[in-house]
């Protein structure tokens, strides 16, 4: 049960995160317009969900999410309890998809790091 809940939470973490941020920021009297902008950044940050990013802030948050390689290993091996080969495939596929969805500027910035990580997985 707990494993299924974590998987559902992971798959919708952009939605949960936006809701949590909204509640938190409302509690502290955050400006409604700015609150909505923060929520939009969170909703549109997913590399695996193709959503149009319209503001520089949305692009920035989405690009920053790429640099979470250790958390991908944790997700694969601890949370999903994948075997070695399946875990490698999971991480490699996720990195490939995420890299392709980076802005052109950040593809260039992350290119060396991306290629190094992928070379370790092959």
Spell out the domain ranges in the chain: 1-65, 66-121
In 5-88, the DSSP E strands lie at none
CA angle (102 as vertex; 96, 104 as ends), nearest 5: 120
Residue reference for tokens 């802005």: 103
pLDDT value at position 49?
A: 59
Per 3-state DSSP, the chain is made up of helix, strand and coil in percentages (nearest 5) of 80, 0, 20
pLDDT value at position 84?
A: 96
Per-residue pLDDT tens over the stretch 70-102: 889 999 999 899 999 999 999 999 899 889 888
Cα 14 to Cα 33, 42, 77, 110, distances in angstroms: 19, 6, 22, 23
Determine the Cα–Cα distance for residues 112 and 47; give it in Å rounded to an integer: 19
Tokens describing residue 100: 């392709």
pLDDT value at position 77?
A: 96
pLDDT value at position 7?
A: 55
* pTM, rounded to two decimals: 0.65
Q: What is the pLDDT along the chain (122 residues), one digit of tens a residue?
A: 555 555 556 677 778 888 888 899 999 999 999 888 888 888 877 655 556 767 888 877 777 777 778 889 999 999 899 999 999 999 999 899 889 888 898 899 999 999 999 999 98
Tokens describing residue 12: 């919708």
pLDDT value at position 5?
A: 56
Determine the Cα–Cα distance for residues 26 and 94; give it in Å rounded to an integer: 33
Residues in the chain: 122
């Amino acid at each position: 049960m707990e494993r299924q809940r974590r998987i559902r939470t992971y798959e919708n973490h952009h939605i949960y995160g936006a809701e949590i941020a909204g509640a938190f920021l409302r509690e502290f009297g955050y400006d409604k317009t700015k609150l909505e902008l923060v929520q939009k950044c969170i909703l549109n940050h997913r590399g695996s969900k193709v959503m149009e990013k319209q503001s520089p802030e949305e692009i920035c948050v989405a690009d920053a999410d790429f640099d979470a390689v250790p958390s991908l290993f944790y997700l694969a091996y601890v949370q999903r309890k994948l075997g070695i080969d399946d875990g490698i495939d999971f991480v490699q596929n996720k990195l490939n998809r995420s890299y392709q969805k980076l802005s052109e500027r950040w593809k260039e910035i992350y290119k060396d790091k991306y290629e190094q990580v992928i070379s370790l997985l092959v």
